[in-house]
């Protein structure tokens, strides 16, 4: 029989891991001479206390949904895609090329084209590691790490030597045409006559991200491809036996993963900065790892975890603004979440399993 | 014997009658009790067999003796002295050596390095290696244990790797040698050589515990035998005073009725025709060396052989998933049509479309996704079937309905298709796989080790279904290492050895003795071996099957 | 390009390769024991910070070095706890450690020094001084050999010589000692070690601890040898280049020396010639910076000799019958 009920596995263990991570973070805050309670209050006020805070929180959430989904999809195929960062960078390049070189008259038209550009560039950047893993057995974790650095160098080169407007010193592209400006949620709210989230970057991409979640859910649990991805992820020999091609699944899963990471660029490049910057991704690709782990690789879990990290990011910014706690606290929290929900999973799980086993034995005896 | 400097505890009591004595050993894993109140006495200088079905608790018991597990209750006496064996180091010091079923060797180390590992004399390797070389030379002379000390393990045959394991134990001054299913990977010739080695060791006063589920080995070589069943020690007898029949009955707890009621086969048109099938794996080892046979409708062809002689590769190749990196040749015809051996149309999915069902040898690794629910597993491999899909999406409702019906018909328990496959017992897991494959009504069923690790009740059920499929005019290719199973189910028997078919026999006209010789690669010359097209050089070989890991 | 320039570039390559070499050997111990480590970057970063902080506070680079080793080893032990004791995913643990170091160094730095995550610049006393080899000044004027000895071989900090000495030492330990034999065995087939009565856990922890110590040396060199103090994210991907070098070297010590020298040289060239003009083409520095990663991918792809990692690498050891 299962060692513990499903709800304990899906909800209890991540929650306990999160509590542990938060407890240690609180100790860290205490250690640097600040009050964890005040820190939390500042974060909640700053991130959730106003529509302004929510506007930023949801903007970050959107980024993390994409990168979290990217990690989750690959994880179902038993592939650890640590290259979301590079794939998101390349997605940005795709968006920039589409918006700078295609004459698109309106955002409604620009959005799908930019999405295609973002997804294709992101997927292409995942393709080589995927192919090398499938055909040559090159460890995908190492190759995707390497591709993050190669992407950074490539982007640097393209921005400095090709996309940089004449006379500009910034390693950044020109502004995208005004017509391609994505409506922000505050724009949309104004249409409805509500003032909400003025001057915040959250935009229609948020809805694209939510749609992506539903689509990923359907892909993984309702399609033959998803079935094959999950089967391959659990057992490669069984997949071979069932006529599922490991090469095909590895490549497709990574293409989908890379495309999702690339799609993040719709939010940060097209929606927010409206030009391609060198450091546009800002580590969101890595946060995707924490988000996917926290969300147990389920799209709805990913939304919740992304929201949590969106809150942490916005709240962390507020912390840096109002207290002497640097925003790097968020990186520490992120590390602890990855550590507890990912690497130290057994530390939480084993005592819980023992507890549930004892409980069920007691019930049997009674 | 020469050798190491490390001293060994508990060996001064040369007068103690028993090398090993266990009193009331119990061990549970979670809610499963693997050993229940076990008593065992192994006289010094004897060969003691421990026999029992898969899962009877033999390996657990021996792992306790070697310090891998701590018993929940009970005590262990080694040479009359009570001993708490908390780790392997303690067991080694007490003079216990263990040869595991899966060897514990470092593949890219030399024989010598493997032998000294963990028993080095000092911080530097050079002196230890030199000493081990000398000891090895003496041991080789004493017990016919020849191995090249500087050879890498990965270059050695399975039989030789096993010798290294035995040498490892002897180098550590083992007085008591435990061998866990040592012949599973050996040819009969290699097994005989092993038995000669064991007898030599016994003559030197060493005590040997042999764990096996093969009655013949017990009868041939042991002095005493203990029988385990479902975690309990049910009997300990002198081998000379018992019979295979009695032991078999003790093992399973009731009379074994392995004969299957079946009518005489009515073979129809050829379903599967295999011609000169060849396969070289990615390490360049020839696994199949020109296999030819044919199976007709309404016929069961049984393939007998020691495991590791190409049966697995044959099943995988027919099933459409030869090991990555292998090269294949020859032809396979299904209902007269030639099948692709390479390219995208050579995969398992295409084979299923051609009417080939497959119950794989290892249900837990290949046949099932252990984390998937039973209903998901019932569609496994057939998830493209139109009735399981609705447009772009899978029709989970239809799959559940189908799974529930199949579980009903095959009496899978518990009758809950939402449970993950890993929560079913071995027999019920196998029923799920068999139900999935047989109920698709394939023209040809490939079935490997259909009853490995399956309880008696399920064995009878599965055998009956196989015969029913045959009687419905389908072809069956049965691969099993259990000779009895082959004899009772097959309409024809082909024996595989070293990637070849050594001969075909009719079950009514052969004996286990004759099949045993064929399994060892020995074809008697006066018989009609010419029709099998066996090259002459294989007629008197007892060569090893290639280096199986 | 004249002789002096070549010497200068090589000299710079030696300085730049030193942290790579130390981190690469660190990874070698860990990975040969079967514990994958993508957290070299984080450990180096933590060591750089603790070394710089203590060197600044005490004015003694050797105390800084000890602190660096302590900081890095602490993270190693977390990695060991996660991947050995709790049988967790080694890659995820490595990722977590990188972030932990990246966040903690700034957090602590800001708390202690209030400089936005930097430490104050180290004065001469807080840094490792350059060691002038005997007769360096006398031979300097001898053509050819003189500059090589005086400029290239002489005049480095102690840690550079330590790093180079670690190469033969590591080779000797791995191939000639009991510890080395067991270490290699536990990375190839831990069951062989376990059944021989040797503790897999203890061996792997030892390897992970050595990894921590060497990463500590690497980080301390960065902050108190190569630079004068700690700056936020100062490792700048060096831990990953060391990882790349480890794969490039196929987990072998002498090859590690070669690989890290190559990568150090690439960095030195990129630093000196932001746009390397080869006449036909101009190679941008970004390409030179990315070259180690590109080369590693090519090696991993197996087009130029296959890099086969230790067989049990990445897998926690679970006892089985």
Q: Inspect the interface and report whether the beta carbons of C178 and B119 lie closer than 8 Å.
A: no
Q: What is the mean pLDDT of residues B245-271?
A: 76
Do A205 and A161 fall within a single domain?
A: yes
How far is residue A83's CA from residue A286's CA, in Å, rounded to a whole number? 8
Alpha helices, DSSP H only, in chain C? Answer: 3-32, 40-58, 61-80, 90-113, 136-139, 145-147, 158-176, 178-188, 190-195, 200-221, 238-248, 253-272, 285-300
The first and second tokens of residue B290, run together, are: 């020109």
Residue A45: inside a domain: no
Residue B9: inside a domain: no
Do B223 and B344 fall within a single domain?
A: no
Residue A349: inside a domain: yes
Share of chain B above pLDDT 70, in %: 90
Do B222 and B286 fall within a single domain?
A: no
H or E element at residue A135:
none
Reference C69, options C177, C188, C214; nearest CA is C214
User: Mean pLDDT of all residues in chain B?
Assistant: 86
Do B481 and B346 fall within a single domain?
A: yes
How far is residue C12's CA from residue A203's CA, in Å, rounded to a whole number? 49
Reference B268, options B491, B480, B446, B533; nearest CA is B491
Q: Between A1, A218, A357, which is nearest B423 by CB?
A: A1
Q: Which residues contact B83 (CB under 8 A, 6 or more apart)?
A: B10, B76, B77, B90, B94
Residues of chain B neighbouring A243 (CB-CB closer than 8 A) = 320-321, 347-352, 381
Do B248 and B149 fall within a single domain?
A: yes
Do B171 and B199 fall within a single domain?
A: yes
Q: Inspect the interface and report whether the beta carbons of B393 and A222 lie closer than 8 Å.
A: yes
pLDDT reading at B116 higher than 90: yes
Q: Inspect the interface and report whether the beta carbons of A231 and B380 lie closer than 8 Å.
A: yes
pLDDT reading at B244 higher than 80: no
- Phi, psi for residue B522 in degrees, rounded to 5: -105, 115
Which of A258-272, A320-334, B222-236, B259-273 is the most confident on average? Answer: A258-272
pLDDT reading at A170 higher than 90: no
Is-contact A66 A215, C-beta < 8 A? no
Is-contact A24 A344, C-beta < 8 A? no
Residues of chain C neighbouring A331 (CB-CB closer than 8 A) = 99, 102-103, 106
Read off the pLDDT band of B531 (50, 70, 90). very low
The first and second tokens of residue A299, run together, are: 């799209």
Is-contact C42 C239, C-beta < 8 A? yes
Size of interface A-C (CB pairs under 8 A): 152
**DSSP symbols for A190-206:** HHTT---STT---BTHH
Reference A21, options A348, A350, A354, A353; nearest CA is A348
How far is residue B218's CA from residue B234's CA, in Å, rounded to a whole number? 16
Q: Which residues contact B527 (CB under 8 A, 6 or more apart)?
A: B503
The first and second tokens of residue A307, run together, are: 């929201």
Alpha helices, DSSP H only, in B42-187? Answer: 58-65, 88-93, 111-116, 125-143, 158-171
Read off the pLDDT band of B547 (50, 70, 90). very low
H or E element at residue B521:
none
How far is residue C43's CA from residue C27's CA, in Å, rounded to a whole number? 11
Report the residue of A71, A147, A158, A339 to disrupt the C interface, i.e. the one with the largest count of C CBs within 10 Å. Answer: A339
Share of chain B above pLDDT 90, in %: 60
Do B357 and B457 fall within a single domain?
A: yes
Do A250 and A362 fall within a single domain?
A: no
Instruction: Count the domains in chain C.
Output: 1
Residue C321: inside a domain: no
Is-contact A143 A155, C-beta < 8 A? no
Task: Give me the pLDDT at residue C234, please.
Answer: 94
Do B302 and B214 fall within a single domain?
A: no
Side-chain half-sphere exposure of C113, counting CA atoms within 13 A:
23
Residue A159: inside a domain: yes
Under DSSP, is residue B289 helix (H, G, I), strand (E, B) or coil? strand
Chain B CB within 8 Å of residue C184 CB: yes
Read off the pLDDT band of B32 (50, 70, 90). confident
How far is residue A332's CA from residue C73's CA, in Å, rounded to a whole number? 18
Read off the pLDDT band of A123 (50, 70, 90). very high
Under DSSP, is residue A41 helix (H, G, I), strand (E, B) or coil? helix
Q: Cα-Cα-Cα-Cα dihedral of B455, B458, B462, B468, to 10°? A: 140
- Comparing alpha-carbon positions, the chain B residue that sits nearest to C203 is B118
Residues of chain C neighbouring A344 (CB-CB closer than 8 A) = 81-82, 86, 88, 93
Q: Are strands C130-131 and B337-338 parallel, antiparallel or unpaired?
A: unpaired
Chain B CB within 8 Å of residue C181 CB: yes
Q: Which has the higher per-residue pLDDT, B306 or B97?
A: B97
Residue C278: inside a domain: no
Label each residue of B6-70 as H, E or C: CCCCCCCCCCCCEEEEEEEEEEEECCEEEEEEEEEEEECCCEEEEEECCCCCHHHHHHHHCCCCC
Read off the pLDDT band of C299 (50, 70, 90). confident
pLDDT reading at B495 higher than 70: yes
Q: Cα-Cα-Cα-Cα dihedral of A62, A67, A68, A69, to 10°? A: 90
- Comparing alpha-carbon positions, the chain B residue that sits nearest to C200 is B118
Do B55 and B107 fall within a single domain?
A: yes
Report the residue of A242, A245, A296 to disrupt the B interface, i.e. the one with the largest count of B CBs within 10 Å. Answer: A242
Residue C61: inside a domain: yes
Alpha helices, DSSP H only, in B234-284? Answer: 244-252
Q: Cα-Cα-Cα-Cα dihedral of A61, A62, A68, A73, to 10°? A: 150
User: Mean pLDDT of all residues in chain C?
Assistant: 91
Size of interface B-C (CB pairs under 8 A): 78
How far is residue C244's CA from residue C298's CA, in Å, rounded to a whole number? 11
Read off the pLDDT band of C25 (50, 70, 90). very high
Residue B472: give the domain boundaries: 270-364+442-538
For residue B257, what are the CA distances in angstroms to A36, B250, B252, B471, C102?
73, 14, 11, 21, 69
How confident is the model over C31-70, as pLDDT tens digits? 999 999 999 999 999 999 999 999 999 999 999 999 999 9
Do B202 and B297 fall within a single domain?
A: no
Q: Between B362, B371, B381, which is nearest A234 by CB?
A: B371
Q: Between C184, C198, C321, which is nearest B118 by CB?
A: C198
pLDDT reading at B543 higher than 50: no
Chain C CB within 8 Å of residue A82 CB: yes
Residue A355: give the domain boundaries: 1-34+324-366
Distance from CA of C185 to the nearest CA of B (A): 6
Residue C201: inside a domain: yes
Q: Inspect the interface and report whether the beta carbons of C93 and A329 lie closer than 8 Å.
A: no
Is-contact A201 A56, C-beta < 8 A? yes
Residue C126: inside a domain: yes
Chain B CB within 8 Å of residue A242 CB: yes
Instruction: Count the domains in chain B.
Output: 2
Residue A44: inside a domain: no
Residue C43: inside a domain: yes
Chain C CB within 8 Å of residue A338 CB: yes
For residue B294, what are the CA distances in angstroms to B273, B300, B338, B496?
4, 11, 13, 15
Residues in chain A: 366
Residue A162: inside a domain: yes
Do A16 and A108 fall within a single domain?
A: no
| CA end-to-end distance (rounded Å), chain B | 30
Q: Inspect the interface and report whether the beta carbons of A329 and C103 lie closer than 8 Å.
A: yes
Do A312 and A328 fall within a single domain?
A: no
Do A314 and A330 fall within a single domain?
A: no
- Phi, psi for residue B276 in degrees, rounded to 5: 55, 50
Residue A237: inside a domain: yes
Label each residue of A11-27 as H, E or C: HHHHHHHHHHHHHHHHH
Q: Are strands B337-338 and B327-334 parallel, antiparallel or unpaired?
A: antiparallel
Instruction: Count the domains in chain A.
Output: 2
Chain B CB within 8 Å of residue A228 CB: yes
Q: Inspect the interface and report whether the beta carbons of A227 and B383 lie closer than 8 Å.
A: yes
pLDDT reading at B527 higher than 50: no
Task: Indicate the residue among B252, B285, B317 that finishes a domain.
Answer: B252
Read off the pLDDT band of C152 (50, 70, 90). confident
Read off the pLDDT band of B256 (50, 70, 90). low
pLDDT reading at C149 higher than 90: no
Do A24 and A70 fall within a single domain?
A: no
Do B279 and B215 fall within a single domain?
A: no
Chain B CB within 8 Å of residue C195 CB: yes
How far is residue A216's CA from residue A234's CA, in Å, rounded to a whole number? 18
> Given a contact as 3+ CB pairs under 8 Å, which chains touch A?
B, C
Residue B473: inside a domain: yes
Read off the pLDDT band of B254 (50, 70, 90). low
Chain C CB within 8 Å of residue A138 CB: yes
Q: Which has the higher per-residue pLDDT, A103 or B426?
A: A103
How confident is the model over B120-172, as pLDDT tens digits? 999 999 999 999 999 999 988 888 888 999 999 988 888 899 999 999 999 99
Q: Inspect the interface and report whether the beta carbons of B394 and A227 lie closer than 8 Å.
A: yes
Do A119 and A132 fall within a single domain?
A: yes
Task: Indicate the residue among B221, B252, B283 that finishes a domain.
Answer: B252
Read off the pLDDT band of B3 (50, 70, 90). very low
pLDDT reading at B528 higher than 50: no
Do B278 and B183 fall within a single domain?
A: no
Q: Which residues contact B128 (CB under 8 A, 6 or more apart)?
A: B116, B119, B120, B121, B122, C178
How far is residue C39's CA from residue B456's CA, in Å, rounded to a whole number? 52
Q: What is the ipTM of this complex?
A: 0.91
Distance from CA of C253 to the nearest CA of B (A): 18
Q: What is the mean pLDDT of residues C302-314?
A: 79
Residue C149: inside a domain: yes
Q: Inspect the interface and report whether the beta carbons of C181 and B120 lie closer than 8 Å.
A: yes
Q: Inspect the interface and report whether the beta carbons of C296 and A142 lie closer than 8 Å.
A: yes
Residue A39: inside a domain: no
Residue B34: inside a domain: no
Q: What is the mean pLDDT of residues A196-217?
A: 95
pLDDT reading at A32 higher than 90: no
How confident is the model over B371-420, as pLDDT tens digits? 999 999 999 999 999 999 998 899 999 999 999 999 999 999 889 999 99
* Residue C315, burial from CB neighbour count under 10 angstroms (0-12, 13-18, 19+): middle
Reference B62, options B43, B48, B79; nearest CA is B48
Under DSSP, is residue B474 helix (H, G, I), strand (E, B) or coil? coil
Residues of chain C neighbouring B113 (CB-CB closer than 8 A) = 181
Q: What is the mean pLDDT of residues A211-229?
A: 97
For residue A75, how far is the Cα from the chain centroid? 13
Task: Give me the pLDDT at residue A13, please.
Answer: 87
Residue A196: inside a domain: yes
Task: Indicate the residue among B252, B283, B302 that finishes a domain.
Answer: B252
According to DSSP, residue A138 is labeled -
Task: Give me the pLDDT at residue A204, please.
Answer: 95
Read off the pLDDT band of B252 (50, 70, 90). low
pLDDT reading at B545 higher than 60: no
Chain C CB within 8 Å of residue A38 CB: no
Read off the pLDDT band of A111 (50, 70, 90). very high
pLDDT reading at B8 higher than 60: no
Is-contact C65 C51, C-beta < 8 A? yes
Count of beta carbons in the 10 Å neighbourhood of residue C268: 21
What is the Cα gyration radius of chain C?
A: 20
How confident is the model over B76-114, as pLDDT tens digits? 999 999 999 988 899 999 999 999 888 999 999 999 999
How far is residue B7's CA from residue B368's CA, in Å, rounded to a whole number? 49
Axis crossing angle, helix A284-294 with helix C90-113, rounded to the nearest 10: 120
Do A187 and A300 fall within a single domain?
A: yes
Task: Give me the pLDDT at residue B549, please.
Answer: 32
The first and second tokens of residue B186, run together, are: 């050996």
Do B313 and B200 fall within a single domain?
A: no
Chain B CB within 8 Å of residue C196 CB: yes
Residue C168: give the domain boundaries: 3-236
How far is residue A62's CA from residue B470's CA, in Å, rounded to a whole number? 59
Domain containing residue B311: CATH number: 3.40.50.300
């Amino acid at each position: 029989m299962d060692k513990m009920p499903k709800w304990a596995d899906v909800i209890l263990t991540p929650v306990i891991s999160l509590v542990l991570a938060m407890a240690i973070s609180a100790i860290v805050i205490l250690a640097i001479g600040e009050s964890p309670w005040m820190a939390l209050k500042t974060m909640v006020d700053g991130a959730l206390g106003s529509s302004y805070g929510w506007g930023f929180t949801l903007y970050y959430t959107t980024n993390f949904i994409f990168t979290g989904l990217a990690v989750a999809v690959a994880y179902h195929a038993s592939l650890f895609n640590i290259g979301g960062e590079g794939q998101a960078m390349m997605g940005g390049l795709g968006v920039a090329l589409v918006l700078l070189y295609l004459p698109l008259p309106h955002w409604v038209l620009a959005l799908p084209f930019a999405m295609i550009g973002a997804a294709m560039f992101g997927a292409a950047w995942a393709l080589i590691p995927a192919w090398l893993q499938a055909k040559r057995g090159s460890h995908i974790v190492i190759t995707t790490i390497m591709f993050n650095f190669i992407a950074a160098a490539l982007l640097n080169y393209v921005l400095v030597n090709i996309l940089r407007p004449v006379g500009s010193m910034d390693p950044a592209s020109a502004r995208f045409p005004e017509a391609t400006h994505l409506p922000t949620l505050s724009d949309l709210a104004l249409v409805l006559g509500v003032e909400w989230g003025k001057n915040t970057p959250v935009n229609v991409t948020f809805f694209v991200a939510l749609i992506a979640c539903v689509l990923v859910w359907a892909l993984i649990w309702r399609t033959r491809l998803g079935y094959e991805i999950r089967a391959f992820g659990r057992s490669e020999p069984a997949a071979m036996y069932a006529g599922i091609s490991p090469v095909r699944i590895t490549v497709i899963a990574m293409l989908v993963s890379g495309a999702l990471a690339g799609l993040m660029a719709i939010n940060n490049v097209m929606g927010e900065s409206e030009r391609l910057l060198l450091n546009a991704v800002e580590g969101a690709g890595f946060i995707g790892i924490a988000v996917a782990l926290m969300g147990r690789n389920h799209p709805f879990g990913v939304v919740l975890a992304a929201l949590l990290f969106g809150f942490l990011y916005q709240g962390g910014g507020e912390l840096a603004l109002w207290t002497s706690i640097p925003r790097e606290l968020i990186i520490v929290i992120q590390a602890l979440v990855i550590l507890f929900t990912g690497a130290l999973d057994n530390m939480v799980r084993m005592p819980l399993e023992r507890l549930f086993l004892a409980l069920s034995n007691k019930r049997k005896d009674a | 014997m020469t050798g190491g400097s490390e001293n060994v505890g508990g060996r001064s009591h040369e007068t103690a009658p028993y090398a090993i004595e266990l009193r009331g050993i119990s061990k549970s894993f979670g809610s499963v009790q693997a050993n229940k109140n076990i008593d065992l006495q192994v006289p010094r200088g004897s060969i003691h067999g421990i026999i029992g079905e898969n899962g009877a608790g033999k390996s657990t018991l021996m792992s306790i003796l070697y310090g891998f597990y701590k018993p929940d209750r009970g005590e262990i006496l080694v040479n009359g002295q009570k001993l708490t064996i908390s780790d392997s180091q303690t067991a080694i010091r007490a003079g216990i050596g263990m040869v595991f079923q899966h060897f514990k060797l470092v593949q890219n180390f030399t024989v010598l390095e493997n032998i000294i590992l963990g028993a080095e004399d000092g911080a530097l390797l050079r002196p230890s290696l030199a000493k081990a070389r000398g000891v090895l030379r003496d041991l080789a002379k004493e017990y016919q244990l020849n191995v090249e000390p500087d050879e890498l393990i990965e270059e050695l045959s399975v039989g030789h790797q096993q010798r290294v394991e035995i040498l490892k134990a002897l180098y550590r001054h083992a007085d008591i040698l435990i061998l866990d299913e040592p012949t599973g990977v050996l040819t009969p010739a290699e097994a005989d050589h092993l038995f000669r080695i064991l007898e030599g060791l016994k003559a030197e006063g060493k005590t040997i515990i042999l764990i096996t589920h093969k009655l013949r080995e017990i009868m041939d070589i042991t002095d005493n035998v203990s029988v385990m069943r479902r975690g309990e020690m049910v009997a300990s007898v002198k081998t000379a005073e018992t019979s295979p029949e009695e032991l078999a009955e003790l093992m399973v707890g009731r009379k074994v009725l392995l004969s299957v009621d079946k009518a005489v086969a009515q073979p129809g048109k050829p379903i599967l025709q295999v011609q000169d099938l060849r396969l070289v794996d990615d390490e360049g080892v020839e696994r199949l060396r020109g296999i030819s046979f044919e199976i007709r409708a309404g016929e069961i062809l049984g393939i007998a052989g020691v495991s590791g002689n190409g049966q697995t590769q044959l099943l995988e190749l027919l099933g459409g998933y030869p090991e990555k990196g292998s090269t294949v040749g020859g032809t396979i015809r299904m209902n007269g049509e030639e099948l692709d051996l390479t390219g995208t149309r050579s995969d398992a999915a295409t084979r299923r479309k051609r009417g080939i069902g497959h119950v794989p040898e290892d249900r837990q690794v290949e046949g099932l996704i252990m984390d998937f629910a039973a209903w998901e597993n019932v569609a496994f491999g057939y998830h493209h079937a139109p009735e399981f899909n609705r447009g772009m999406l899978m029709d989970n409702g239809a799959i559940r309905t189908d799974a529930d019906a199949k579980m009903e018909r095959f009496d899978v328990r518990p009758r809950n298709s939402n449970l993950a496959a890993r929560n079913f017992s071995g027999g019920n897991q196998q029923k799920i796989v068999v139900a999935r494959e047989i109920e698709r009504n394939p023209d040809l069923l490939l079935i490997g080790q259909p009853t490995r690790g399956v309880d008696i009740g399920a064995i009878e059920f599965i055998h009956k279904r196989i015969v029913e499929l045959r009687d419905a005019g389908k072809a069956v290719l049965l691969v099993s290492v259990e000779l009895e199973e082959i004899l009772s189910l097959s309409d024809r028997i082909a024996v595989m050895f070293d990637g070849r078919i050594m001969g075909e026999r009719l079950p009514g006209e052969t004996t286990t003795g004759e099949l045993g010789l064929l399994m060892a690669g020995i074809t008697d010359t006066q018989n009609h071996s010419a029709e099998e097209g066996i090259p002459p050089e294989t007629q008197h070989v007892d060569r090893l099957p290639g280096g199986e890991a | 390009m004249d002789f002096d320039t070549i010497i200068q570039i090589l000299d710079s390559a030696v300085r730049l390769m030193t942290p790579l070499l130390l981190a690469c050997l660190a990874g070698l111990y860990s990975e040969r024991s079967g514990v994958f480590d993508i957290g070299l970057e984080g450990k180096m970063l933590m060591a750089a910070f603790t070394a710089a902080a203590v060197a600044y506070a005490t004015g003694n680079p050797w105390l800084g070095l000890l602190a660096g080793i302590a900081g890095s080893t602490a993270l190693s032990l977390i990695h060991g706890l996660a991947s050995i004791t709790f049988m967790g995913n080694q890659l995820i643990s490595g990722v977590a450690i990188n972030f932990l170091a990246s966040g903690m160094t700034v957090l602590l730095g800001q708390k202690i020094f209030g400089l936005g995550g930097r430490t104050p610049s180290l004065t001469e006393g807080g840094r490792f001084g350059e060691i002038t080899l005997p007769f360096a000044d006398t031979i300097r004027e001898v053509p050819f050999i003189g500059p090589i000895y005086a400029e290239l071989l002489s005049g480095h900090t102690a840690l550079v010589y330590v790093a180079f000495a670690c190469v033969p030492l590591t080779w000797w330990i791995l191939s000639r000692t009991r510890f080395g034999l067991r270490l290699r065995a536990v990375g190839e087939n831990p069951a062989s070690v376990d059944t021989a009565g040797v503790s897999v856990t203890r061996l792997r922890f030892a390897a992970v601890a050595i990894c921590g110590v060497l990463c500590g040396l690497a980080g301390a060199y960065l902050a108190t040898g190569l630079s004068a103090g700690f700056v936020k994210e100062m490792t700048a991907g060096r831990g990953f280049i060391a990882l790349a070098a480890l794969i490039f070297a196929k987990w072998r010590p002498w090859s590690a020396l070669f690989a890290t020298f190559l990568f150090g040289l690439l960095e030195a060239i990129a630093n000196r010639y932001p746009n390397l003009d080869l006449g036909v083409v101009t190679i941008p520095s970004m390409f030179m910076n990315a070259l180690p990663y590109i080369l590693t991918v090519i090696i991993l792809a197996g087009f130029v000799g296959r890099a086969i990692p230790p067989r049990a690498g990445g897998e926690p050891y679970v006892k089985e019958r």
